[in-house]
Structure 1
Amino acid sequence: MAGYLISDTRKVTTHRFIEMKQKGEKISMLTSYDYTTAGIVDRAGVDCILVGDSASNVMVGNTTTLPMTVDQMIYHARSVMRAVNRALVVCDMPFGSYQADCYDGVRNAIRIMKESGCDALKLEGGIEIIDTIKRILDAGIPVMGHLGLTPQSINKFGTYTVRAKEEAEAEKLLSDAKALDEVGCFGVVLEKIPAKLASMVSKEISVPTIGIGAGNGTDGQVLVVADMLGMTQGFSPRFLRRYADLNGIMTEAIGHYVDDVKNGDFPNEKESY
């Protein structure tokens, strides 16, 4: 059943991203951080894989994304790239790798692209980092924007609540989205903003919007793979739909293994040399 809706097996590119929006074809996006998971996600037909700095939470156990380093993101992105044939692979630039100045941002962007082999990078922020984005684009590196709830700024916001509910912030977000579109970003993630605003932004800009907690009016959707597969526990925001209970399945399977080892049933004669 894997990839049963996908008839086009060509590599997804940034150009095809924009084509998909123009054709009204919704874009599917999931995170992955390792070779095995990325291979499954790619074969299932996902259009875009995000090597997110959410690896900080999912893979390392940190409470925020802030501790992730350029070296760690390269490691995860390189692992993902080895497994992927079709999906567009986008890697997050981690906190501290582009905020200081545009020259630092360009150097780190080039390094991530060279050492990981990923297809594009994602940066959080709007007008404030537009010069950095422009210089990265000028270096020939595709960039995806990220507006709304930007986890790298959690200490500034102090909360993970819905962003841009007030008129002033909503107007700034729309202005930021237009600036990202005009400077040459090939897409924009809209995280945890009102559905009405996300739908408006999606209509106002020419490049695809990818929503997470932003309603159904965006051009695509993204979720953290461990969340949608039910591997994580204690995280149940309104926008999350769990498509499986891998936590339960894995716990049961591992429990059976432990029992079989303890009672001497594993390995049996057929499983021995």
Structure 2
Amino acid sequence: MFRSIRSLSSTNRVYSSFKHATTRNTIADIYSMYHQKVPISMVTSHDFITAKFAEQAQIDINLIGDSLAMVALGYDDTNEVSFDEFLYHVRSVSRGNSKSLLIADLPFGSYEISADQALETSIKMVKSGRVQGIKLEGGLEVAPVVSKIVAAGIPVIGHVGLTPQRHNTLSGFKLQGATTESAMNIYKDCLALQKAGAFAVVLECIPNKLASLITENLNIPTIGIGAGPGCSGHVLVMADMLGMNGPSNAPKSKFVKEYANLYETAVEGLQQYKADLISQSYPDPEVHGYKMKKEVLAQVKQYIKS
């Protein structure tokens, strides 16, 4: 008995460490890139397949963004997706990507009531969604919330500038920080988030020079989307950058660069499939079918006739 107990506590046992326990990106990896001024790549995913895309492309941070409400679920804006719907997609992404740092948005209505609600939602996201951190929108007003979540051991990315969940207050999706007051408020928001413990902040749809100035004066990485080249890293919605929701000539945000058009490729593939069925070139019995022994076929025919 003592021998078996000793075998369990052998000095040869491998204990958990970063080297042995995981190959997933960590915040330490992100900060290493930040300090070396290596641009940080971040994209959104909304399901298992898009998560695999991000994993295979070695994307640094994979965000499960509430933009999936529109690009994957067909809602008019991000505010319509429920927490349970969103969590379903978060779990799908977490099963598909074992390499990138996984961050999930807190959807609208899941954190605004109180800091306690925000913490409870964040814990659910980490435990059930299997992500490594969360992202939430807002600046000075959410700093106490960020502080509470971080104190519980959950990493947080902030999000300022154009905050889509508040598009009604902002009178639509448009440039922020174009006036002196607006620009200074965005900077103050960033400082508040940094002080609260956020490990990075998303700058969305603000002037290039403002984003660069903020980046130069923060001690945490900035992730730009429509914020010019001066940020520490950049994020795009995968459905936008891969052209998943419409043809290449469809309207898109100014800051989006389309690297592929999967929509057109998919439609062309489906059209060819239908054409092959009509022409009877698919399925090819020699390529796509399975053979049957003649004697077995004869026996089955005899059975059917009898």
TM-score bracket for the superposition, by shorter chain length: over 0.9
Q: Distance in 1 between matches of 2:84 and 2:253?
A: 30
1:216 aligns with 2:232: no
Partner of 2:150: 137
Partner of 1:18: 31
| One of 109, 113, 116 as aligned partner of 2:129 | 116
Partner of 1:243: 259
Q: Distance in 2 between matches of 1:40 and 1:56?
A: 19
1:80 aligns with 2:93: yes
Residue deviations 1:111-141, cap 9 Å, x none?
1111011111000001111111111111111
Residue deviations 1:6-34, cap 9 Å, x none?
xxx94211122222111111001111011
Q: Distance in 1 between matches of 2:91 and 2:105?
A: 13
Q: Measured at CA, do residues 10 and 23 of structure 1 come closer, stay the same or move farther in structure 2, by a change above 3 Å?
A: farther
Partner of 2:210: 197
Q: Distance in 2 between matches of 1:141 and 1:73?
A: 19
Contact map agreement 2:75 2:81 (CA 8 A) in 1: no
Contact map agreement 1:17 1:186 (CA 8 A) in 2: no
Partner of 2:191: 178
Partner of 1:3: none
Contact map agreement 2:55 2:99 (CA 8 A) in 1: yes
**Stretches of structure 1 lacking an aligned partner (at least 5 in a row):** 1-8
1:271 aligns with 2:284: no
**TM-score normalised to structure 2 length:** 0.84
**Stretches of structure 2 lacking an aligned partner (at least 5 in a row):** 1-21, 291-306
Q: Distance in 1 between matches of 2:55 and 2:121?
A: 27
Partner of 1:59: 72
Partner of 1:258: 274
Partner amino acid for 1:248?
A: E
Q: Distance in 2 between matches of 1:227 and 1:256?
A: 25
CA RMSD of aligned residues (A): 1.2
Partner of 1:167: 180
SS at match of 1:134: helix
Relative contact order (C-alpha < 8 Å, sep 6+): which is higher? 1
Q: Distance in 1 between matches of 2:33 and 2:209?
A: 22
Partner of 1:188: 201
Q: Distance in 1 between matches of 2:206 and 2:265?
A: 33
1:89 aligns with 2:102: yes
Partner of 1:4: none
**How far has the Cα of 1:244 moved from its partner?**
1.0
* Structure 1 consecutive aligned stretches of length 4 or more whose deviation exceeds 4 Å: none
Residue deviations 1:21-69, cap 9 Å, x none?
1111100111101111111211111111110000001001112100112
SS at match of 1:82: helix
Q: Distance in 1 between matches of 2:71 and 2:144?
A: 31
SS at match of 1:155: coil
Contact map agreement 1:178 1:204 (CA 8 A) in 2: no
Contact map agreement 1:55 1:65 (CA 8 A) in 2: yes
Q: Distance in 2 between matches of 1:154 and 1:136?
A: 25
Contact map agreement 1:36 1:83 (CA 8 A) in 2: yes
Partner amino acid for 1:136?
A: I
Partner of 1:49: 62
